[in-house]
Amino acid sequence: MSVKQQKAIVAWLFIVGLMVFAMIVLGGVTRLTHSGLSMVDWRPVTGWLPPLDAAEWERAFDRYQEYPEYKKLNLGMTLGEFKAIFWFEYTHRLLGRIIGAAFFVPMAAFWLKGWFDKRLGLKLVGLFVLGGLQGVLGWYMVKSGLVSRPDVSQYRLAAHLSLALVILGAMVWVTLGILSPERPAAPPERGPGQGPEWRPGRLRCWSWGLTALIFVTAISGAFVAGLDAGFVYNTFPLMDGAWVPDGLFELAPGYRNFFENITTVQFDHRILAITSLCAVMVFWWRARRAGLARGQRLALNVLAAVAAVQVALGISTLLLVVPVTLAALHQAGAVALFLTAVWLAHELRPGGD
């Protein structure tokens, strides 16, 4: 791969990655504005165009009125109000289609030109397949809200976000592998004031542990969103005046509380968020002595900064009772924090891509 080809492929992946990032944030806004159930059917091939005249808008609105969200939550909604929520969901779906085209067409062109080898090609095909599955999973999620309970399943919402993070994280990993295919400078085995815990292998284990913890914390946030748990206990650090609120384990069997009990779900997210911040800061404080290479130090410092900002955004969102703009920034921060952790793990890899 020539330098020119490398730059073109990296620029393409970077642009598509930004689009996926925007897609995740827009999905959060769609959720926050209760717009996700405004489109009650899925036409992946023919659904590119919105209603184009008054008659089509009336038909779309009539279809929406047949479902529980209108009957239970939005009875009496006007056509103008319907359009306001429709455009959020339509734009979200349209962006997904555009991303698919923006990924597939250049990938096919680059492959036909012979710009990348079979190994990289298979990775990119894998990303494309995951993107298609994400579209199917998105509709599967929406369908869960078109029944008696006019709200999507928190389980399917969490699955949808999980796959989105996996796709974006994998895309970042592949892009970084193209940019730096050679082994990065590794920290020394031992230095002044260093213990054996700072051997390169131990650092990599720490970085992957942090990445997993941040991923789990983000997914716990999806359960908070799915249950609207951010609209209760809007104080910090106490919940209902207590460090450990009542009602944490009211449901049986006990594991259901972590996914269906609003009190437990919010408490769990708080604990995971603070634990993630503490873990990142401990790693940052101690890894500075490990003789990291320049790129590794940069990734480490950015991770610490993003973690601090993300927790501040989360607390602010809670205290202000989930304003849409701040909540969207909090979701964007979760994605940024996860990707920064992936970046750090890549910087600490033993070699290859």
pLDDT of residue 108: 93
The per-residue pLDDT for 147 is 86
CA distances (Å), origin 95, targets 36, 84, 91, 160, 189 = 14, 17, 6, 16, 47
Question: Does the pLDDT value for residue 193 go beyond 70?
Answer: no
Q: Indicate the pLDDT class of residue 42, thresholds 50, 70 and 90.
A: confident
Determine contact, residues 85/64, Cβ cutoff 8 Å: no
**Mean pLDDT, the chain, integer:** 90
Cβ neighbours for 298, distance < 8 A, ≥ 6 positions apart:
none
pLDDT category of residue 182 using cuts at 50, 70 and 90: low
Tokens 């009957």: give the residue: 71
Q: 10 Å Cβ neighbour count for 268?
A: 21
Question: What pLDDT band is residue 352 in, cutting at 50, 70 and 90?
Answer: very low
pTM reported for the whole predicted model: 0.91
Q: Which range has the worst mean pLDDT, 95-99, 100-104, 137-141, 187-191? A: 187-191
Number of Cβ within 10 Å of residue 93's Cβ equals: 23
Q: Give me the phi and psi of 239, to 5 degrees please.
A: -120, 115
Give the type of residue at 57.
W
List, as one string, the DSSP characters of 64-79. HHTSHIIIII-TT--H
The DSSP call for residue 117 is -
pLDDT digits (tens, 9 = 90+) for 276-321: 999 999 999 989 888 888 899 999 999 999 999 999 999 999 999 9
Separation of alpha carbons 169 and 187, rounded Å: 24
Rg (CA), the chain: 22
Residue predicted with more confidence, 148 or 155 = 155
Angstrom CA distances, 78 to 29, 61, 83, 270, 324, stand at 21, 9, 9, 39, 22
Which residue is listed with tokens 């104080």?
Answer: 235
- The tens digit of pLDDT for each residue in 214-255 reads 999 999 999 999 999 999 999 999 998 999 999 999 999 999
In 3D, which of 170, 210, 186 has the Cα closest to residue 16? 170
Q: 129-133, 180-184, 288-292, 341-345 — which is least confidently predicted?
A: 180-184
pLDDT at 197 over 80: no
Report the DSSP beta bridge partners of residue 242: 239
Reported confidence tier of residue 115, pLDDT bands at 50, 70, 90:
confident
Hey, where are the domains in the chain? 1-179, 184-353
Residue 260 pLDDT: 95
Q: What is the rounded average pLDDT of the residues 144-158?
A: 89
Whether the pLDDT of residue 353 is over 50: the answer is no
